[in-house]
Structure 1
């Protein structure tokens, strides 16, 4: 016999629960929304074209808890000209992809990213 209390008798049945470490981490810190490889390829294809034309100069990518944002800048010290957002909560409603201008107005929204990115396609104009 020792002077230490018997800890086995103090524990209850509820303490013997095994929890997966990944489930525990996801419950504490949900995984942020990200752009997938194919989505980034489509965005960067348009970004590269506009940089080549001299219209855009810089970009930033934000991965937040509820959405992912690709911001496009004319100069790095300014507000973004455009924001391409992916919001999975809107996937069943209006579409999870949207393009917004500097004032926050939604220029185009939809379920498929290539369709939404067509807002950046230019129409050729005849100049006299």
Structure 2
């Protein structure tokens, strides 16, 4: 009895061993998910902290998917997100990898640079008489 599998016709395999690089095998099996980098998260969390301080936002969730990363912002944790900040690298060459989407799925702003896209959350100062 040997550790080699039986082939059709009762033949046994002798020289069929193949060496495979483990890191290549893992990359082909399950590609790494898209994630936010540290600087991107810093910019997002800076705005999130400001809005929490103003009492407008209460909770968030981060999803790292195969094709995109999503930062969801909630007013209450049991509801649908008020806004979704998405990073989709496949759109980087076309419309820009970053976008901000509202509750209804309407894209409020899209661009190639995250700080520019996050300006959608900047409040315009109003003159009060």
2:118 aligns to what SS in structure 1? helix
Cα deviation for residue 17 of structure 1 reads: 2.4
Specify every segment of 5 or more residues in structure 2 that has no aligned partner in the other structure, as ranges: 5-10
Specify every segment of 5 or more residues in structure 1 that has no aligned partner in the other structure, as ranges: none
TM-score normalised by length of structure 1: 0.89
- What residue is the counterpart of 2:66 in the other structure? 65
Q: Distance in 2 between matches of 1:12 and 1:98?
A: 55
- What residue is the counterpart of 2:25 in the other structure? 24
TM-score normalised by length of structure 2: 0.88
- What residue is the counterpart of 1:11 in the other structure? 13
Q: In the TM superposition, what are the counterparts of 1:72-83 in structure 2 within 5 Å? A: 72-83=73-84
Cα deviation for residue 12 of structure 1 reads: 5.9
- What residue is the counterpart of 1:93 in the other structure? 94
Runs of 4+ in 1 over 2 A off after TM superposition: 9-13
Q: Distance in 1 between matches of 2:116 and 2:105?
A: 20
| Structure with greater helix percent | 1
Aligned length, in residue pairs: 122
RMSD, matched Cα: 1.6
